[in-house]
């Protein structure tokens, strides 16, 4: 998107070309100088002050000058539909109120939290939101944590007061909060709410405070289509997935605990029972908190199998601290029972890895033969592979014509070219030129996978030429 720097003395015939305008001033215009801005203020659809360099800046002198351009009853940007604002401290929130009106549909707010005070100020600000922007359809809240956890304790109650008043809200994004579950429950009466995204960014320092676990059922709107939430598996099974979600199509749950097979199985049973329309399922529990996890905590097929009852799933992703305990027969079972799945990620980047043994195997090259035989519907596949395993014979293997990406995560592979030739030739028998083999940025030694990617393309082309030559000879 282009960005242009202009003063307010721009010619009016240039207005139609603006789609992202940033005005920079050496000295601010006089009150009468702002009158030129009136020429195109009705064209503004989005306003954003959410930038680090202006978060502590007061716009009050500017707003006071341009306020004279409009009657009190008229919005300064009458066609504004999107407003993004960063609120640092004091009464700087009052400046955003100047731009609020009933036509705004999307509001993004960043709160920079200071000392544990200001509850009355925040509630007063939220009252303006409810009154001036009652037709909000999307509300995105971000909290910047630069102070003790107590500084945001008053945000939850204020949000619980505000959200039920936004009757047209369809999408809600929330940050990590102490009382997140109480806030989410306050949305239960909203008739149009379709999306709640309260996932936790990996960039947030989770040591600042802990989210209070739910003590009662988390009530959500039955109209919900998509839910992303940080919650332990046991709490989700007990307090979240206890009612029907008949139209929910996407569910993403993130746990900060190293979940066990028992808790995982309880969760998948609850999902299958209450969310039968799901198309996209993501389960994440990759935090071990420095613990040495016993191998009996590896997730097996029996822990995932209840989800086979969700017959519309097209995307399934599971992430765990330990590699999954899936035999090749388990992979075959999964692919045969979930023929609707086109995007399958089976924990390609576990954070805790121990050497495999015969009784507790990892996926290896033989696993990909099974995938080739039963996974022709796949477009994306993620697996953690033992790249040092023996290459199996693979003559006459069915190709994977739809596969676009094979994600091997943190899988290890020899880094010498002579050791990678075998895997490259093996993969060339069922991968096509459109498929990319990619390792994770966390991969301890990506060199081998980089070499394989280069060799693979050449091997596939050679294989195609051989097949074409064989067809010619038959004719």
Residue 213 lies in a domain: yes
CB count within 10 Å of CB 467 equals 10
Residue 245 lies in a domain: no
> Domain count of the chain?
1
Rounded Cα–Cα distance for residues 457 and 273 (Å)? 45
Sort 450 into a burial class: Cβ within 10 Å, 0-12 / 13-18 / 19+. middle
Give the pair of three-digit tokens for residue 472. Answer: 């010619």
Annotate 231-251 with DSSP letters as a single string: --HHHIIIIITTS--TT--EE
pTM: 0.85
Is residue 206 predicted with pLDDT exceeding 60?
Answer: no
- Where b means 16+ CB within 10 Å and e means fewer, 39-66 reads ebbeebeebebbeeeebeeebeebbebb
Q: How confident is the model at residue 60 (pLDDT cuts 50, 70, 90)?
A: low
pLDDT, residue 89, reads: 61
Residue 179 lies in a domain: yes
Residue-wise pLDDT tens digits, 384-424:
999 999 998 866 677 899 999 999 999 999 989 999 999 99
Give the pair of three-digit tokens for residue 462. Answer: 């050679």
User: Could you tell me if 379 and 342 are in contact, meaning their C-beta atoms sit under 8 angstroms apart?
Assistant: yes
Our measurement of the distance from residue 122's CA atom to the centroid of its chain's CA atoms, rounded to an integer in Å, reads 28
User: Could you tell me if 143 and 152 are in contact, meaning their C-beta atoms sit under 8 angstroms apart?
Assistant: yes
Whichever domain contains 103, its CATH number is 3.80.10
196-200, 266-270, 395-399, 442-446, range with greatest mean pLDDT? 266-270
What kind and span of H or E run contains 28? none
CB count within 10 Å of CB 257 equals 15
Residue 301 lies in a domain: no
User: Could you tell me if 449 and 455 are in contact, meaning their C-beta atoms sit under 8 angstroms apart?
Assistant: no
Residue 48 lies in a domain: yes
Is residue 128 predicted with pLDDT exceeding 90?
Answer: yes
For residue 58, what are the domain limits? 19-220
Residue among 418, 457, 413 nearest 439 (CA): 413
pLDDT, residue 468, reads: 79
Rounded Cα–Cα distance for residues 128 and 206 (Å)? 31
Residue 444 lies in a domain: no
The DSSP output letter for 360 is B
> Coil, strand, or helix at residue 451?
helix
> Which residues face 107 on adjacent strands?
83, 139
Inter-CA distances, 376 with 85, 229, 338, 396, Å: 48, 32, 12, 15
Inter-CA distances, 459 with 170, 338, 372, 428, 456, Å: 50, 31, 17, 6, 5
Residue-wise pLDDT tens digits, 63-120:
777 666 665 567 778 899 999 988 766 566 677 888 899 999 999 998 876 655 556 7
Residue 35 lies in a domain: yes
User: Could you tell me if 420 and 447 are in contact, meaning their C-beta atoms sit under 8 angstroms apart?
Assistant: no
- Of the CA atoms within 13 Å of residue 417, those in its CB half-sphere come to 3
Residue 185 lies in a domain: yes
User: Could you tell me if 463 and 434 are in contact, meaning their C-beta atoms sit under 8 angstroms apart?
Assistant: no
pLDDT, residue 295, reads: 65
Give the pair of three-digit tokens for residue 118. Answer: 């200001």
């Amino acid at each position: 998107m282009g960005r242009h720097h202009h003063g307010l003395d721009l010619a009016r015939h240039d207005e139609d070309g603006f789609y992202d305008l940033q005005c920079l001033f050496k000295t601010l215009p006089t009150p009468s100088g702002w009158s030129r801005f009136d020429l195109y203020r009705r064209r503004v659809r989005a306003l954003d002050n959410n930038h680090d360099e202006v978060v502590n800046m007061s716009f009050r002198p500017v707003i006071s000058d341009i306020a004279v351009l409009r009657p009190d009853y008229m919005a300064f940007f009458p066609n504004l539909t999107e407003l993004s604002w960063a609120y640092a401290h004091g009464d700087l929130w009052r400046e955003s109120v100047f731009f609020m009106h009933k036509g705004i549909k999307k509001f993004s707010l960043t709160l920079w939290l200071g000392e544990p005070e200001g509850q009355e100020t925040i509630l007063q600000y939220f009252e303006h939101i409810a009154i001036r922007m009652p037709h909000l359809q999307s509300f995105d809240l971000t909290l910047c944590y630069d102070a003790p956890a107590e500084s945001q304790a008053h945000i939850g109650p204020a949000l619980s007061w505000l959200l039920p008043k936004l009757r047209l809200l369809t999408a809600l994004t929330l940050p990590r909060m102490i009382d997140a579950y109480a806030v989410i429950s306050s949305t239960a009466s909203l008739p149009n709410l379709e999306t709640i995204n309260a996932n936790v960014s990996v960039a947030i320092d989770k040591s600042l405070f802990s989210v209070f676990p739910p003590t009662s059922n988390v009530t959500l709107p039955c109209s919900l289509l998509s839910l992303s939430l940080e919650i332990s598996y046991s709490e989700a099974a007990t307090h979240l997935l206890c009612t029907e979600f008949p139209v929910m199509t996407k569910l993403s749950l993130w746990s900060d605990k190293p979940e066990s097979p028992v808790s995982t199985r309880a969760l998948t049973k609850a999902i299958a029972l209450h969310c039968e329309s799901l198309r996209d399922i993501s389960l994440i529990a990759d935090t071990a908190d420095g613990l040495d996890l016993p191998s009996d905590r590896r997730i097996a097929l029996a822990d995932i199998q209840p989800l086979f009852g969700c017959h519309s799933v097209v995307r399934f992703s599971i992430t765990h601290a330990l590699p999954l305990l899936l035999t090749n027969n388990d992979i075959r079972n999964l692919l045969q029972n979930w023929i609707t799945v086109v995007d399958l990620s089976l924990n390609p980047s576990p954070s805790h890895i121990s050497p495999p043994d015969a009784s507790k195997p990892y996926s290896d090259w033989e696993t990909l033969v099974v995938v080739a035989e039963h996974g022709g519907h796949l477009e994306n596949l993620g697996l953690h592979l033992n790249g040092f395993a023996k290459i199996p014979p693979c003559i006459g293997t069915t190709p994977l014509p739809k596969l676009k990406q094979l994600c091997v995560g943190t899988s290890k592979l020899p880094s010498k070219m002579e050791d990678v030739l075998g895997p490259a030739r093996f993969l060339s028998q069922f991968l096509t030129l459109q498929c990319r083999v990619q390792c994770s940025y966390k991969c301890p030694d990506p060199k081998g996978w980089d070499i394989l990617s280069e060799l693979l393309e050449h091997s596939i082309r050679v294989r195609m030429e051989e097949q074409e030559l064989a067809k010619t000879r038959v004719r």
